[in-house]
Structure 1
């Protein structure tokens, strides 16, 4: 019975690994530079740089910054306005032809909060290429869902590998590498060792990757439930054409959530709010609460607070998992650890593919027949 169970788990491990290997290699190879995307952007000159300003200068109003963002793109509308907690002098703006236009045509700018001068275009450079390959392979939402599926298959491969590890290595010392055996056995020992070393990390990164891949689905559930209930009194009404002052909107939102700072503002009609409301998302000031946001919905025409509520647990999990996926919680030491574990995972994936090919070749190779064996076979006929 145990032998049969082991064979079943072996089949599961073999095929889930084979199905996901190519895509997991792509994720690892693109994810490795993304761990250091801030540092790479800085080195290549793609990071926004603070503008020179006179001493004692005051920040401009949000409405002035909004007008500056739209000045070079007549006919566009604002979608989002956001703030980086590490760059308080900078405001990020997102504009497009309409709130329902193709997201790939969105213009993302970084503006100086004191002068409203552009200090760089966000989402450009080689790291953007790596990010698109990593998240959706330039296939949009279907690509994200497919990569999420591959991440789920990879997690099954990890679990099945853990189940198989003990039966296949119980007679060996932990971390034993049989150097005097064949090359295939040598690679098998390294495959098992690095697989065990990275198992917890791989489950964490794989799980967070799957969660992020289906973030749009979770956001859709929140829209259909909570946002629909909040926007019910405005059902049938058109999107406001005259919007409240952004400074009024942000001021009212911060009064409703004391002790928090703004993360971003979503304009009416965007996916993070209803067609009639601004949504101001605010965050805390600790390493954990700075990753979690609290939405405040405000009337698009008056700026009055309509609702304050917490995000559902599933969306909170997405927000917490995003920096964990790339090791952004612990500074450079954690990034280096994440990078080393990624390299180990690449070796595990490559060695697993080699072991499968080597085993198939061995199975197809005809058995050698010695003269003695041939004679015995002749006598036995």
Structure 2
């Protein structure tokens, strides 16, 4: 039996199929671009709130005073389950205390300086981490796209057997897409180790959460924390009976005395002001890729041991190294700059890959100016949306609806390009809009930092 369709119906079906492929490419491009920008996550926080108090270090007693001061402001609320203290580090020399209800900066002597206001930085991280989709769904989608990048990188090598031999062959002139294909292939080769590392670690982070939920359902009676415990350690049993506040200064002093070569980066106080409270110190180990080792203490400051991320089994050390390897949180500014360069190259590879695909369709006689315009809207619309979202943060403050602004612009710009201006292509117009919005953001940002 042969199905008969009109030529127009077939053309519409092909266009619909291409549009689905374009959507997948758009999400992949967005993930790569936001991942590149979020490398400077700490620096964005300093730009967002330039007047927050900064310090190279803070005394243990000052940390204790800050913790007590923050909890004193929450006496009329149900007890917070976790209190986090971000200790000053080189990239972000600030002390910040976060509870279930608030986040505040504290001064070097432990006084509350004001609320933490880094909404754009958090929005950006959530956009890359989970496409701003709450819960498990967003991280799963991003993890799947990590697998997709891995598959594209490996299949690209197989599909181009001369790709390494021609690693430095570049025909700059765009002769029927040849120049664009050369840029795509060369950047793919030059960034291959980076692309594989980012794809693999991204897939591990995103799909690892799915795996944890699966293990919890199969072996731990849906207790996700129990599934994570063999790697990241387990929490003590809660006891909600009231108790005096634990002294976090004692563990900090113990760490400085017994492990002077490590640097505390986070303090986690579980169930503060209850009999079940306990303390975890996360400390960076020099010349190690792990995000840190976790040292555990009781409410009385007694040392209970460490989790083993620095010297435990290989799976623990690998899991603890994934985050720094993916986000470039090691090696300081030189490593971050390298991640920016390679991240931009990977983003260009994704963008040019789709452009090459559209060019091939056009050379086969499938002239689709609306798809071309839509892809122009994606390539230039996503950075425009990021820029205007940051501008909204500067103008409207920390409560600006950043997620709504970003996704409205990200969806609307390609749709407007498709509907209004398929020919001539909107590329140059969008480039001018990006340049203008960037200049305005820089001007307002510099003005705000100077005040």
Is the TM value for this pair above 0.5?
Answer: yes
Mapped contact 1:94–1:107 kept (Cα < 8 A): yes
> Which of 83-92 and 18-27 deviates more?
83-92
Shift of 1:153: 1.5
2:350 counterpart residue number: 349
Mapped contact 2:282–2:294 kept (Cα < 8 A): yes
1-structure distance, mates of 2:179, 2:83 = 56
Shift of 1:224: 6.7
* CA shift in 2, pair 1:47/1:318, >3 Å: farther
* CA shift in 2, pair 1:289/1:116, >3 Å: farther
2:140 counterpart residue number: 145
2-structure distance, mates of 1:289, 1:178 = 39
Shift of 1:248: 6.5
**Match for residue 306 of structure 2 among 286, 305, 308:** 308
Shift of 1:245: 2.4
Q: What SS does structure 2 have at the residue aligned with 1:264?
A: strand
Please, what TM-score do these two structures have when normalized by structure 1?
0.70
* CA shift in 2, pair 1:21/1:32, >3 Å: same
Shift of 1:27: 1.7
1:132 counterpart residue number: 126
1:194 counterpart residue number: 187
* CA shift in 2, pair 1:95/1:341, >3 Å: same
* CA shift in 2, pair 1:33/1:309, >3 Å: closer
Shift of 1:255: 8.4
1:165 counterpart residue number: 160
TM alignment of 1:3-152, pairs within 5 A: 20-46=24-50, 48-50=52-54, 60-74=61-75, 75=77, 76-77=79-80, 78-86=82-90, 90-96=94-100, 106-118=101-113, 121=116, 124-141=118-135, 142-152=137-147
2-structure distance, mates of 1:89, 1:195 = 36
Please, what TM-score do these two structures have when normalized by structure 2?
0.60
Shift of 1:277: 5.1
* CA shift in 2, pair 1:351/1:112, >3 Å: same
2-structure distance, mates of 1:250, 1:135 = 32
Q: Any stretches of 5+ residues in structure 2 without a counterpart?
A: 1-17, 213-223, 368-451
Larger strand proportion of the pair = 1
2-structure distance, mates of 1:119, 1:45 = 11
RCO higher in structure (CA 8 A, sep ≥6): 1
2-structure distance, mates of 1:87, 1:35 = 11
How many residues get paired?
Answer: 324
Aligned-residue Cα RMSD (Å) equals 3.9
